[in-house]
Structure 1
Amino acid sequence: MSPKQRISTRVLLICAAIGVVTGLVSALAGALSGPTIIVAPVLYGIVLTAHALPGVLAQAVLREPWVALITHLLAALVASATQPAFIGSYLAAVVIMGGVQEGWAAIGRYRRWSAGWLCTGGAILGVILGLTAGLIIGMKHLPWWGTILSVALTIIGGVVWSLVAVAVGRALGRAGLTRTHRG
């Protein structure tokens, strides 16, 4: 691994800080998943896509390769500690969501970090999640129009959570988190 490819301690510490906070958000989303499926299954995609927050936030703040996967893994560890019943789901989020986010960043050659680019990645993630989990949940619990609405809300959820991550990332940047970071 060349010096340019090494991940600095500073980057790892920022990923850890983001991972802890977003891991708590993921734990809350995990706890809300069951009740949402029972009470309002059409809204499950919005809850599910909350798990995209760690990777997008790390990418918005750090703008480097691998930070989405690292932060997702750390968030999954935190979420698993608070909601151990969902450890498999949290680890799946690392692979699926972190993988899609890293893949999308790689397509942009790790040079595109605009809100639009990150939100497009969120929409792609929403499509993938909507056509898998959204369809499965929708077909079990909803009429055909509800299933379509569920998939659409999952896509919207991916974009909305990406926008939240970008807004928080910009606020952290204004607060000086990335001031001395050389990425």
Structure 2
Amino acid sequence: MPSSKLPSGAKVALTALLAGAAVAGATGLAGATGLAGAADGTGTPAPLEMAAAPAADAPSHLVEDFLHPGAEEILAERGIVVGRGDGHITLADCGENTLIQLRSRVAGDVCFRAAGKVGYLSMQVPSVYLIYGGDKNLSAKLTAANGQSKTYDVAAGLWKPVGESDTGVEAALMELRIV
């Protein structure tokens, strides 16, 4: 016969879940009448004032912050700020011709892997002058030091002059979108 013993972590999680359900049930019942039994044993109805507190050793909730993995290390090593995105555009080692490729006078060659039919990544790559879409159609937003922004459409399989190559004004790539 299989053992019904739970690991200690599962016990904590199950206990927290059951306690939360019990409080929610009691709150719902008390909310229907507006009252709850007094804790002093007198049986005198008293307003419900208890709130569910999470167990101290209960697992925390996972929260997605949409930041690029390893953003701090990328900034320290390459001088590139990678910000928020949807996970479909990620920094990659250059070498495959299907990758999104950037040419920057400051950062050199920078490549991104694109997965999916749509994608988004905010960033700051200084002095970008050329973008290759790989096998994706892109929208690329660049911003010059004077604050003026320009958005470029980059067709799959083609190199697109941007920033200084297009306007004569140095600009940083601020966001990429797969369109």
TM-score higher than 0.5 here? Answer: no
Whose strand fraction is larger, Structure 1's or Structure 2's?
A: 2
Query: Which structure dedicates a bigger proportion of its chain to helix?
Result: 1
Structure number with larger C-alpha Rg: 2
Which one scores higher on RCO, CA 8 angstroms, separation ≥ 6? Answer: 1
